Structure 1
Amino acid sequence: MKKALLAVAFMFACAMQAATGTTYTVAMKKVVAEVPDDIEESDYGHRSAPVPTECVIDATSGITFTDADAPEFVSYDILDTTGMTVASFADEESFISTLFSLSGEYQLRLVSDDYIYQGWVML
């Protein structure tokens, strides 16, 4: 229980504290993109909070994950604090370019075929 609380506290409290002029480090949670059709939604996962994974977004080298290779993303989304989509991109370069031109607090959502990676950034 303490580990779960620490993970949640870490994710919200310091989701985007490490930042330089051209690099942001984001604590991202990884969730399943879709529940398979043959599994009842009430029986599928959701037993504990996902453990955050560290994602580094760099203006020159792109998106990397510190604990694994970055998957092939099909969508790069920027949402405001109310959950409304500010911008959505199919390519990494446009996403990063727009992200580094913004200021304020945003939710980032990186979507692959199997998973959605979500985290918060303060620009």
Structure 2
Amino acid sequence: MLTAPEAEVMNVMWSIGEAAVADVVERLPRELAYTTVMTTIRILEEKGFVEKRGKRGRAFLYAAAVDKSAVTGSMTHEIAKRLFGGSVKSLMLNLISDSKVDSSDLAEIKQLIEQLEAGE
């Protein structure tokens, strides 16, 4: 499970690929200190989410070591397990009923459900 700052860093890593700490700092949606981002990347490396890929000048380059869909899938199932007793249905109902779901998102959700039902 990623913390909120780890998820922010991973989203940048997934979007730009290989990056130095300074590259990540520049692209984060909110301002974080260079040392904070460097520490977060080191923690992500220890957890196996990020790997060193070499150097650019004196700066180490890092890249995501895991696919975004794998991480989001496992985190979603972990949230369902922790907060909804493992019920994906309860998680989905909570998301749909407590969020503002616009009509285009709702149509896409319906289409995905129809595709899943057709595949069964």
TM-score (norm 2): 0.24
Q: Quick check: which one's strand share is greater?
A: 1
TM-score (norm 1): 0.24
Q: Quick check: which one's helix share is greater?
A: 2
Which structure has more relative contact order (CA 8 Å, sep 6+)? It is 1
